[in-house]
Structure 1
Amino acid sequence: MEFAHVSILALFCLAFVGIGATPSGEDYWQSVWPNTPLPKAFYDLLIPSGKTNNLPIRADELNQYSTLFFQHDLYPGKKIILGNTQSEGNIIRKIGKQRQGVTDSIWLANKDKQSLYDFCNSPTAKGEHKQCVSSLESMIDHVISHFGTTKIKTISSSFSQNQDQYVVEEVKKVGDNAVMCHRLNFEKVVFNCHQVRATTAYVVSLVASDGTKSNALTVCHHDTRGMNPELLYGALKVDPGTVPICHFIGNKAAAWVPNHSVDHPCVI
């Protein structure tokens, strides 16, 4: 009932944009969450043509997404080097060169190189629910429908540019079973919104080697049976389904979680 009420309210608000005018995704966002800024992670969804002239995630930025580590690595003082990783002592080390595209997913369903169409229509991993969205409006409708309420908020990362060595300063739990929406690395603007069961999201405060501070959205998977066995063993020397595995989420993504604040309907 609340979702239907929200949709009617959103359409009513958008009527004031003007007769014959096409409401933008940002107008729709403001109709649902007034006076709430749009997260930078979703700016690409405002591109009119829906297509860029280059890949959105540079090769060096892919390391933000591919840093795998154990849950017990999340503690103040832990040293982290971004990249495909293995845990060794008090440091997480880069061990491989990243490829662009969706080929480096930790999920088995995404193991092989795929086109955008193939990826969005591929079978989901165990315990995963996903949907590809190409507009801000469709993303908003998807997450509201999923949670059954507009009382949700987004959390995103703010990795520093040209930095890949960090020390963990603080770890804060955000919530369980969040919905992640992240930009796929194709020229066409498409976000993959998916929820994987048995997950916990954190915001990890990091300090770079030059003193710059960043926040890293982090997800820990407690059920890893659907993960890519070759990637897991190569990075951490473990098999799927044995221990919880965590990874960072880069700047071109955000997590949606329930928001229990009354004053701020969508805190960024």
Structure 2
Amino acid sequence: MEFQLLGIFSFLSVAVVACHAALSPEAYWKSVIPNTPMPGAVKDSLSTTTEWEENKGTAVGVGKGGVIVGGNYRGKPVFVGVTPSANPFAYLYAATEDQLHDDPNVALFFKKNDLQQGNHMKLHFTKTTNAATFLPRSAAGKIPFSAVKLPQILSRFSLSPDSKEARVMKKTLKECEEPAMMGEEKLCATSLESMVDFSVSQLGKNVKAISTEGGRKREVPQKYAISGSKNMGKDGKAVVCHKQSYAYAVFYCHKTQSTEVYEVSLVGVDDGAKVKAVAVCHKDTSAWNPNHLAFQVLKVKPGTVPVCHFLPEDHVVWVN
């Protein structure tokens, strides 16, 4: 999804306290799952800094499309972002009428029998513009992450309670605090370390992490030809982590049974663009919200047919 980020700058103070003895998020990944390559969605959410320290005089740019909170680490800029978006991949989510017409994720839902080599599908893959980066767990743990503490959070980021950014963050916190469905395990990971720990706790250390890669910055959907697909899971279990709109990288991670994960090779009919897309097929949707976007797009009812969807580039799927 695309969002325009406007440079209307003000200043705030954000204290990010370094723990020099702790591993960096990237080093933590390598220490826990050394045989698991890091997918693009994770790499794109890593900060370019290697350490974090308290800094003041940080800048925040607020505009129509969202907010970029920027800091300086040893004279170099560090940016995280907030962009307004819904989460159509949360099972309890209900679509609005506007989203049926305007949400680029509409094109990503399909039926399992559509996943055949040679088939053409009209899809909208865009290069992610969610620039939010991970905080180290030691820093993220010092920032409240709860809807009841939203006033404290907004104050920390010098955001008005009436701002668009405040509404976006409130929505993310609400989604994160929704109760899990029966048979579902979920966590909003506020750091890379917590995302790794959750996925390993659900699937074990012998895991693969994959994400959609190869999308381009396109204004409109185009037809893609399916040139091949590969089933990536073994036992019908997967952890899917969706990047949220927040002041730093937060991933909504959830695990359910009866899930199939495919890596699908696509070629753009118009421009020849090659996309290695991750598709998730849910065999049991009986507990989903009947007003979920997928049912409205596919014109089916909960629990009747498997529901599949491609994932945007800023999402991660874990399988074993």
- Output the TM-score relative to the length of structure 1: 0.68
Are the aligned partners of 1:172 and 1:203 in contact in 2 as well (CA < 8 Å)? yes
Alignment-derived partner of residue 43 in structure 1: 43
The aligned runs of 1:94-133 (5 Å cut-off) are 115-133=171-189
Alignment-derived partner of residue 172 in structure 1: 230
Distance 1:170 1:35, change over 3 A: closer
Are the aligned partners of 2:36 and 2:209 in contact in 1 as well (CA < 8 Å)? no
* SS of equivalent to 2:209: strand
Distance 1:237 1:34, change over 3 A: closer
Alignment-derived partner of residue 199 in structure 2: 143
Is 1:63 aligned to residue 104 of structure 2? yes
Cα separation, 2, equivalents of 1:45 and 1:162: 18
Identical aligned pairs, as a percentage? 38
Tell me the matched-pair count.
Answer: 210
Alignment-derived partner of residue 266 in structure 2: 206
Q: Which amino acid aligns with 2:256?
A: V
Cα separation, 1, equivalents of 2:316 and 2:194: 15
Cα separation, 2, equivalents of 1:169 and 1:197: 28
Q: Which moved more, 1:136-145 or 1:226-235?
A: 226-235
Distance 1:56 1:137, change over 3 A: farther
Alignment-derived partner of residue 223 in structure 1: 284
Are the aligned partners of 2:284 and 2:303 in contact in 1 as well (CA < 8 Å)? yes
CA RMSD of aligned residues (A): 3.1
Question: Any stretches of 5+ residues in structure 2 without a counterpart?
Answer: 1-18, 53-70, 72-77, 87-98, 125-129, 131-167
Question: Any stretches of 5+ residues in structure 1 without a counterpart?
Answer: 1-18, 84-99, 101-112, 259-268
Deviations 1:127-148 (A, max 9, x none): 321101111111111112212x
Cα separation, 1, equivalents of 2:35 and 2:286: 42
Cα separation, 1, equivalents of 2:207 and 2:242: 17
Are the aligned partners of 2:106 and 2:297 in contact in 1 as well (CA < 8 Å)? no
Distance 1:70 1:37, change over 3 A: closer
Deviations 1:163-196 (A, max 9, x none): 5321111111111211111211333311011112
Question: How far off its partner does 1:82 sit?
Answer: 2.1
Alignment-derived partner of residue 81 in structure 2: 53
Are the aligned partners of 1:218 and 1:247 in contact in 2 as well (CA < 8 Å)? yes
The runs of at least 4 consecutive aligned structure 1 residues that moved more than 6 Å come to 56-59
Distance 1:64 1:205, change over 3 A: farther
Distance 1:115 1:51, change over 3 A: farther
Distance 1:125 1:36, change over 3 A: closer
Q: Which amino acid aligns with 1:151?
A: N
Q: Which amino acid aligns with 2:211?
A: S
The aligned runs of 1:12-91 (5 Å cut-off) are 20-34=20-34, 37-43=37-43, 45-47=45-47, 52-55=80-83, 63=104, 67-82=108-123
Question: How far off its partner does 1:55 sit?
Answer: 2.1
Alignment-derived partner of residue 192 in structure 1: 252
Deviations 1:210-229 (A, max 9, x none): 11211110011110112232
